Chain A
Amino acid sequence: MLKALVFISKLKLKKMKKLLLALSTVLVTTFAAAQTTAPDATKPYLIFDATYDLQPVGTGNPTDVVIYYDNQTGTANKALQFRFWYDAGVFDAPTITYTGAETNNYFQYNVNDTEGNATVTWVYTGNDSNFDIAAGSMFNVALPFDAGFNNGVITNMSFTGATAFPAYGTLSNGTDTELGLQNYGGVLQEPPFNFTATILNSADNPAEAIPVILQKSADGTTWTNLQTVNTTVTGQAVFEDNLDQSYWQIRVKINSGLDASSALSTADANMIAQLAIGLQTPTGIQYYTANPNQANSITAADSFTVFNRLAQNANSYPNNPDVLFFTAAQYTTILNSNTDQSSTIPGLSTFTSPLINNTTSGTYYMLVLGDANGTGLN
């Protein structure tokens, strides 16, 4: 009865956690919205958004940077001139296009690829005396990567640089008006990378609070930790990052040294003893979980190992890890076997996944040594 109540409470907690997770996702989405409006109504503005996603280097496609226009002054603007800067060490000369809807215009630009700037003019050429430049996306800057670029540091887009060029708008009578240049960041970031790693004790038993590390490597040898996310009650570690999958090798890692004490009990030790003397037949899984000393298959020594750890109140085994990790395919093989697979599928105490490039999710399994009854690490 008590167990049932505890189970129901855990279920409610899980639902609550899911709700919180959903809410946090909405909040993150809200804060990540584009910043494309004028900061004030004193003058018309050209605007760089906070961030722009780079194109994958491997595709050869140029990265698009949108320059927005907004004018909350209530006074019509007929033309504009400005200059912006880009990282000439990363990009070749950009192609700039006018993306607004007005067809009566004269649009020109001049790129200084040495200094990394472009000078832009846009003039209304029609005969509508009431014309006003429309707010919204106005220019697209298509930035092709330099041939040697390798996803290094990129200087942000900017409206200021070494050689100044005055920014102006134009009033209806043909006189100059101040043109604001608002940069909310202009950060060029690698393309979005989303991945969910699910860590399970078994198919219906998620592993909670497992620290999963997202890693990248340019050469497959030297790996850089990007972020660590603990699995939730659903066993999921959700990664939202910016990574060029066409360039980086990407994987997840779980370090060894997990303390699985909570999964161990005398019931496990007893079950191991029964398995050792043949009162129970071990499953493929139990060839791992009932063999905490990792030697000579399942013996009384394994049962003692668990009893002894419990008696010592230790949080680790002397010579073996608490947990071994497996891929889903390996786990399925073990699960479907009634023999000891440990010689061919030894498992990993430090888990590094296969490359997860161009995938959005991966499921991995862990088995707790000594956890013969499959409580799992929760």
Chain B
Amino acid sequence: MRKLLYLVLLLTGTLQAQSPLCPSTSTNFCCEYVAGITINGQSYAGNTGFTGPGYYDYTGTPVPTIQAGQNIQISYTVRTNGNYNQYFKLWIDFNGNGVLSDPGELVFSDNAVVPNTTQTFNRTFTVPTTVFNGEIYMRFIMVYSSSPTLCGNYAYGNTFDFKSGVTGAVDPFNFSGHVYNSEGIGIQNIPLEVYYKTTTESTYALYTTLSTNEVGEFEVTTTLNADSYNFKVVIQSITYTQPTTSDAQSFNLKLIQEDLNSKDYYRMDVNGNRLLTVSDIYSIYAKINNNIADFQGTDPDYRIFTSTEWSVINSSTSDLTSTYIGVASVTIEDIPNGQTYDFYVVRKGHRN
């Protein structure tokens, strides 16, 4: 008996798993429920009695792909055991930014007194042509006696979450990438500035600032039409820190094992004489110990390379410092939508 109860709880729990959207559910049940919903031809079951549950996550069973400009049919069947006024709302995250409260994303808001019976409501809405292509989330809520809010608990009714895709619309501008160190490991907290302008404007304005995450990744997502805007990204002001003894020891090991390659001319040759020797190792120790104020030479503390440059540097063994100089800051303009950019930062005296 206990095992059967546990199985029921498991099944119920599966149905009630939370989608990526904010939590929303009914907490009381007595007098009404949504028995089922059909969207764009795909049917989804609801309650079968007046006992809940209050939330359904159907994001794992996507609604058939929606075409921009298409008229979408939605029908929902409601059952009550009295004359109760029910409120209905449907939100669709048309711009795909994970937030359903943006303008135009409340698709409909309605209410009706449903007598002691089962009643099916049919609605039609048109998908705007200005929405963005891609994955979208939907939420349908029925609440007794008050207008549903997007998130949170309420007394009576049901919440349904859905997922679908949009095609035939416009693309929002987005791009992403990584900032790696010279060992190909992502660097966290590298600051980036993202600027934008319309295609007809001449100057950029700051859109947002962000930093790389723990794996060196950055991701810029906008709600702006990629066909109407230009973007540029700037990486600058990387903080240079003192190398450590482990850097010196690591370089020393490379030296005696003759495991030296092109990138070492950027990071290990701290005295800037284009030779990789024990003097570079000593220089790191001397700088750590303040025996020297700074490294010899005029090489910059760090250099930033594109992935194209780095692929050459990382696969060569000769001194390429005069061929690939690197830069202290990176500005990329007219970024194509969806483009991925990877950058490599090599810091003088740092193995990583």
Contacts and interface: CB of A to CB of B under 8 A. Distances in A.
Interface string B310-332: 00000000000000000000000
Contacts of B279: 79, 168-171, 174-177
B292 A173 contact: yes
A129 B256 contact: no
Contacts of B253: 108
A123 B252 contact: yes
Interface in A158-204: 165-166, 168-177
B256 A166 contact: no
Given A174-B270, A175-B271, A176-B277, A124 B256 contact: no
Contact of A176 (B248, B252, B273, B292): B273
A120 interface: yes
A125 B296 contact: no
Contact of B282 (A119, A123, A165, A166): A123
B277 A81 contact: yes
Interface in B86-101: none
Given A78-B286, A123-B281, A125-B285, A108 B256 contact: yes
A110 interface: yes
A166 B252 contact: no
Contacts of B256: 81, 108-110, 119-121
B195 interface: no
A109 B271 CA distance: 23
A123 B285 contact: yes
Interface string B279-293: 111110110011110
B43 interface: no
Q: What interface size band does chain A fall in? A: 20 to 34
Given A109-B256, A119-B258, A166 B277 contact: yes
A226 B351 CA distance: 58
A106 interface: yes
A80 interface: yes
B291 A168 contact: no
Contact of A174 (B252, B255, B257, B271): B271
Contacts of A78: 282, 286
Contacts, number: 89
In this complex, the member of B275, B289, B291 whose beta carbon has the largest number of chain A beta carbons within 10 angstroms is B291
Contacts of B291: 127, 129, 172
A60 interface: no
A122 B249 CA distance: 11
A176 B249 CA distance: 18
B70 interface: no
Given A108-B253, A176-B277, A125 B245 contact: yes
A315 B249 CA distance: 79
B278 interface: yes
Nearest to B245: A125
B295 interface: yes
Interface of A: 78-81, 106, 108-110, 119-127, 129, 165-166, 168-177
22 contacts: A79-B278, A79-B279, A81-B255, A109-B256, A119-B256, A119-B258, A121-B281, A123-B248, A123-B285, A125-B245, A127-B289, A127-B291, A165-B258, A166-B275, A168-B279, A170-B283, A173-B292, A173-B296, A174-B279, A174-B280, A174-B286, A175-B273
**Across chains A and B, which 8 residue pairs bring their CB atoms closest together, nearest first?**
A174-B283, A127-B289, A81-B278, A170-B279, A79-B282, A110-B256, A170-B282, A119-B256
Given A127-B289, A172-B292, A175-B271, 18 more contacts: A79-B281, A81-B255, A81-B277, A106-B245, A106-B281, A120-B256, A121-B252, A121-B281, A123-B248, A129-B291, A168-B275, A170-B282, A173-B292, A174-B271, A174-B292, A176-B273, A176-B277, A177-B279
